[in-house]
Amino acid sequence: MADGSDTTLTADQTASAPTPNGLVAGIKSFAAEHGGAKAVIEYVGKRGARIVLVGSDGAWGDQFAEDTVVARDACGQAGVAVENAWERELMDQMRPSNDLWRSMARRTMAR
């Protein structure tokens, strides 16, 4: 392909959707309820991006965004730090609820 071809797409040419206020509010709310939070953003194909939030108290939850750019922007606006990967310290901090353990057990036993 020749330089300057219109089929060449660069990062500057990609237009990301505006960050939804509800997404930012949800992230802020989670962080406030759990004494702060960190986020890991996971690309999930056509669905967009999953923002996994881990609270300082070990609770965790998630939000969905249209893409990873919107997800990072929402976390930035909410004041939540984004981790680049699942580090051991972050995983050790997570504390699944008893309800989650029960639901996972039912899924395993149903197989």
pLDDT in 10s for each residue of the chain, 111 residues: 444 434 333 344 345 567 788 999 999 999 999 999 999 999 998 889 999 888 888 888 889 999 999 999 999 999 999 988 666 666 666 666 666 556 655 555 544
Does 53 fall in a domain?
yes
Q: Residue 103 phi/psi, 5° resolution?
A: -65, -35
pTM for the model? 0.67
Strands 81-83 and 37-43, bridge-based pairing: parallel
Measured over all CA atoms, what is the biggest interatomic distance in the chain, rounded to whole angstroms? Answer: 58
**How many Cβ atoms are within 10 Å of 94's Cβ, its own excluded?**
13
Query: Can you list the positions of beta strands (E) in 22-92?
Result: 37-43, 49-55, 60-65, 81-83
Quick check: helix, strand or coil at residue 28? helix
Specify if 41 maps to a domain: yes
**Is residue 12 in some structural domain?**
no
Domain for residue 88, yes or no?
yes
CB 39 within 8 A of CB 51: yes
pLDDT score at 80: 95
In a domain, 86, yes or no: yes
pLDDT score for 93: 65
Question: Which residues span the domain enclosing 106?
Answer: 18-110
Judge whether 1 lies within some domain.
no
How high is the pLDDT of residue 46? Answer: 87
Number of other residues whose CB lies within 10 A of the CB of residue 77: 15
Number of domains in the chain: 1
